[in-house]
Structure 1
Amino acid sequence: MKKILISLINLFYPNLCRLCKRVLIEGETAVCLDCLYHLPRTGYQNYADNPVVHLLIDRQALEAATALYYYEQGGQVQKLVHLIKYHGHKELGYQFGRQAAREWREADHPFQKADFIVPLPLHAKKQRRRGYNQSEWIARGIAEETKIPLLTTAIRRDVMTESQTRLKGYNRWLNVKDIFSVTEPERLAGKHILLVDDVITSGSTVGACMDALSAIPGIRISVFALTMAAQ
């Protein structure tokens, strides 16, 4: 009876791929396998020396860094990020966080050795308006798969800045300078943390967060971004 009821629901209210709107088949969740296959992957997780590392290389506490997909204006990855970030589909962030973590396990990636997972924080006002932090949901997926503890209160965003989208170079750095503060430094001392973000463009925002964390004695910081803007 339950299977018949589910079939009737799917007939009148089909579960559609969030990206292409094709009806999902059994085994597919939120995004169809065809869309997943065609998302532009970076492959950076296979290389210790990669473009994400190059963006953050001047941060002394940097341990490792990578991004899963290329972000291009008008592309499917941009659509995916916007669904997660602006349209309430936080479950997509969770799903892709889990997927990334599975791949690290297969590759025996250094991220697996992190002591804590820390999502890049939003300003409290922006998080209240949005209802959630998209980076936290990506981090939740990673934590679920890796069983590494998730910390959401270790660092705070004190300043609500304007969007980085239209800013260039030095102005990007000025826009995010000193906008983060660490709230639990003693908990992070001597630890390896995995900092999680949704999109890396110039690296200035995540770099500012790393700068705040770098004052903690003995800290090591790895960075994962779901996407990276094509350079």
Structure 2
Amino acid sequence: MLRSLWGDFVGLIFPRLCLACREPLMTGENHLCTGCRAELPYTDFHLLPPEQNPIGRRFWGKLPVRHTLSYLRFVRHGRVQNLLHELKYQGQRDVGTALGQLYGAELRTAGLAADFDLIVPVPLHPRKQAKRGYNQAAAFANGLAEGLQLSSNATALRRTTHTSTQTQKNRAQRWENVATVFEVENPTEPARSAHSRG
């Protein structure tokens, strides 16, 4: 009881803010307010047939992929950009974990969990990870694996080259920038033997 009252008192002086809209969070809300949870621009691509999935169509005739998924639409100066900024540049790795948990739970509810063996985040180069302090993709992957009730392995892939930032590049330049910089760390390791990293 006292702990709850103290938390409410501290919240009046130093309110916790929603990382998407910057409004104060209510008791029981973490990272995202209920309004943003309801109004974020979800893609729902996992609910579409393959021929209607705009990301999937980009791979037609290029790579054999079974699923092409995206959780949120990026809107410049919008809530998703705020979340990405907090995740990548403000040390808020919990944002990635929370979003991953939410999306993983949605995918599991849609019956997709059985289609995946392992969640593998794209690694940062050690120099960039040391500067940032963590890999934001790994934070999302951990949450995604938890929501899907699967394993994740942040060491399955290794980045072999430090690349320049992707921020100002177009799609073709982004692909060229990372086309040959990853390799599987241990190709003979069975996927299901990897363990979840929380």
The TM-score normalised by the length of structure 2 is 0.86
Shift of 1:184: 1.3
- Find the counterpart in structure 1 of residue 156 from structure 2: 154
Shift of 1:48: 4.1
- Find the counterpart in structure 1 of residue 139 from structure 2: 137
- Find the counterpart in structure 1 of residue 104 from structure 2: 101
Higher strand share: 1
Q: Separation in 1 of the partners of 2:59 and 2:133?
A: 30
Q: 1:73 to 1:4 in 2, by over 3 A?
A: closer
Q: Separation in 2 of the partners of 1:169 and 1:7?
A: 47
| 8 Å Cα contact 1:143/1:150 also seen in 2 | yes
Instruction: Indicate the structure whose relative CO is greater, using CA pairs within 8 Å and at least 6 residues apart.
Output: 1
Aligned pairs for 1:163-182 within 5 A: 163-182=165-184
- Is 1:87 aligned to residue 97 of structure 2? no
Q: Separation in 2 of the partners of 1:104 and 1:174?
A: 30
Q: Separation in 1 of the partners of 2:172 and 2:27?
A: 49
Q: Separation in 1 of the partners of 2:12 and 2:56?
A: 47
Match of 2:71, SS?
strand
Deviations 1:81-104 (A, max 9, x none): 111111111101000100001111
Q: 1:93 to 1:170 in 2, by over 3 A?
A: closer
- Find the counterpart in structure 2 of residue 66 from structure 1: 69
| 8 Å Cα contact 1:119/1:135 also seen in 2 | yes
Q: Separation in 2 of the partners of 1:168 and 1:93?
A: 24
Q: Separation in 2 of the partners of 1:171 and 1:30?
A: 33
Q: Separation in 2 of the partners of 1:169 and 1:9?
A: 46
Q: 1:8 to 1:187 in 2, by over 3 A?
A: same
Aligned pairs for 1:204-215 within 5 A: none
Unaligned runs of 5+ in 1: 192-231
Q: 1:48 to 1:186 in 2, by over 3 A?
A: farther
Match of 2:73, SS?
strand
Percent identity between matched residues is 32
- The 4+ residue runs of structure 1 with deviation greater than 6 A are none
Shift of 1:188: 4.6
Unaligned runs of 5+ in 2: 193-198
Q: Separation in 2 of the partners of 1:21 and 1:136?
A: 25
- Find the counterpart in structure 1 of residue 31 from structure 2: 30
- Is 1:6 aligned to residue 7 of structure 2? yes
Q: RMSD in angstroms over aligned alpha carbons?
A: 2.0
Q: Separation in 2 of the partners of 1:175 and 1:9?
A: 46
